[in-house]
Amino acid sequence: MSNQRNTYIVQTILIFVIIIVVNIVGNFFNGFIDLTEDKRFTLSESTIDFIENVDDIIYVKVLLEGEFPAGFKRLRNAAKDRLDQFASTNPLLEYTFEDPTEGSVEDIRQKQQQYKEMGMAPTNLTFLDGDEKTQKLIYPYALVNYGSRQTIVNLLEPQGGRGQEEVLNTSINLLEFKLANAIQKLTREELPNIVISTGHGETPDYMTARLEQVLKPYYDTGRLNLDSLFQLNPKDVNLLVVPAPRSQVPIKTQFVIDQYLMNGGKILWLIENFEVNLDSINQNQLYVPKPIEHNLDDLLFKYGARVKNNLIMDLECAPIPQVIGSQGEKPQTILVPWYYHPIAASKSNHPIVKGIDRVNFKFPSSIEILDRPNVKSEVLLSSSEYSRFQVYPMRLTFEILRIDPDPKQFNKGPQPIAVLLEGEFESFFKNRITQENEAILQQIGTTFKESSPQTQQIVVSDVDFLKNKYDPNSERISPIGFSDWEKKIYEGNQAFIVNSVEFLLDDFGLLEARGKDFKLRLLDKVKTKEEQGKWQFINLALPLVVVWLFALLFFFWRKRKYAQ
């Protein structure tokens, strides 16, 4: 009997030792098996490759600790899961979670002031705590630190007219990309170089000041007159932006751009074919827009895109103010839909546009995609199903706003406004090298290239969507996508242009993580309330009952086995 008791004690001690050892080992290793249909808990290969290559400590502080409703707990837990996966991939990544509303009143006030100076605005969260409505300020941000560098990641996507569950689901989907992208920007030894072309009436710098301000922390941006160059080297210029030239781009400059592309350069084209704005229409009863002779049609045609000589009209559009009368000496205005300012929603699953808010364009034209060998194209943004277009010479007038539109006339379907071209492009100058071109090549000591390696271009038929407004008196600039009349910001405008730049400069392919598609499986709230007690019992009480039942059966089995 004594030997049996000693054996039992030893076995019990061994079991406890094994459990303790397993828990200790488990603290150092984060392993799991992803059995979900959409592999939502599995990092993208590009993310894994990048994180593995980080060679110094990354410290992440997430300001999402505390008591939240279920949806925000999911966001918090998802952020922790992603960071656990990052830390398992590379132990140089460390993280903590902090409650910014914890501490004395003075401490909280100082934190809030500090966060405000850093550009972090709190979200006022209203939720039911039992039967009581509770309000709480939360900071859905992560501070990512690498050496002396720091960047802020907003973990919560803008509402954009969507329901809270959809916003939270989108935010959770984007956690991997946002965190990996922030780390990539911090760890770059050299900032990628973006050149914005000038010299042909391109969009002035005060209208792109906000964009350059957004890009400055992560990219070197500058303006350059390409007419003064003989060569543009992709090793020196990582991205060329051509922002809506208003005058002819000389053949010599086109040759420089062409050979830049043939050597692997990447280009973001913002091409407009007409001089048109609301003031010009307002000053004329009937206004025929003046065509812009930028001389780039043949070049783009060779690469696989043609910006047509038309203007898109769309029933899904932004409003403009119109005077309907006066009260005393004050004019009375209302906002009415303006069909030439389409609001484009993404219909593509491409990472550049997937999940972004709608983009407000102004007087865009249709883009025709042309079939080219070894070139793949994709429409990133287009007008709605209820679209049509006017072909040049079109007459523009506000008089059309006096009549209700007939949806049957808006029957041309979606019109491409932004297009991605990827592949191996053939030179526009193939079999047409001039003596001047040959002289340029000899002067810079290089050879002519007839085709490019794998590279990308994006063509957009509007530049207004990325402009900021500028007040010369106060020198204040508005956010990208700000509408004076609606007093709102079209968040998709900045998201689209920034995502386009990041895609074209993404060495590791991290934007792949942005394209992940996780299904939103919402609970039936009525059924949840009706069956609340049942599921509480199954999840809380039933496991305890099973454990006690197992213990009881084990007790009787041992008693029967060892009874004398």
Same fold, 37-186 and 193-312+341-397+410-504: no
CATH class of 37-186: alpha beta
CA dist 234 and 240 (Å) reads 9
Residue 108 CB neighbour total at 10 angstroms: 15
On the question of pLDDT at 360 being above 70, the answer is: yes
- Tokens, residue 342: 């389409």
Mean pLDDT on 361-375? 96
Which is more confidently placed, 133 or 150?
A: 150
pLDDT at position 520:
47
- Tokens, residue 288: 């025929």
Among candidate residues 255, 253, 296, the one with its CA nearest the CA of residue 272: 296
Band of pLDDT at residue 246, cut at 50, 70 and 90: very high
Geometric angle at alpha carbon 132, from 126 and 133, rounded to 5°: 20
pLDDT at position 8:
61
Band of pLDDT at residue 96, cut at 50, 70 and 90: very high
On the question of pLDDT at 519 being above 60, the answer is: no
pLDDT at position 355:
80
On the question of pLDDT at 33 being above 60, the answer is: no
% of the chain at pLDDT higher than 90: 47
| Whole-structure pTM value | 0.79
Amino acid at 443: Q
CA dihedral sign, ordered 90, 145, 159, 416: negative
**Which of 9-13, 325-329, 345-349 shows the highest mean pLDDT?**
345-349
Band of pLDDT at residue 251, cut at 50, 70 and 90: very high
Which is more confidently placed, 329 or 523?
A: 329
Q: What is the CATH number of domain 193-312+341-397+410-504?
A: 3.40.50
Among candidate residues 238, 501, 241, the one with its CA nearest the CA of residue 351: 501
Region of 238 (left: φ > 0; alpha: ψ -120 to 50; beta: rest) is alpha
Which is more confidently placed, 295 or 148?
A: 295
- Pairing between β-strand 93-97 and β-strand 58-62 as defined by DSSP bridges: parallel
What are the pLDDT digits (tens) for 284-318? 778 999 999 999 999 999 999 999 999 999 999 99
On the question of pLDDT at 376 being above 50, the answer is: yes
pLDDT at position 421:
97
- Residue that has been written with the tokens 């920034």 in this structure: 498
- Tokens, residue 300: 């783009």
What single-letter DSSP state applies at residue 491? H
Band of pLDDT at residue 533, cut at 50, 70 and 90: confident
Over the chain, what is the mean pLDDT?
85
The b-or-e profile of 285-306 (16+ CB within 10 A means b, else e) is: eebebeebebbbbebbebbbbb
Band of pLDDT at residue 39, cut at 50, 70 and 90: low
Can you tell me whether residue 321 is helix, strand or coil?
strand
pLDDT at position 148:
87
Geometric angle at alpha carbon 268, from 265 and 361, rounded to 5°: 170
Could you tell me the residue ranges of all domains in the chain?
1-30, 37-186, 193-312+341-397+410-504
pLDDT at position 550:
73
What single-letter DSSP state applies at residue 358? P
CA dist 332 and 411 (Å) reads 33
Bridge partner residues of 390 (DSSP): 311
On the question of pLDDT at 32 being above 70, the answer is: no
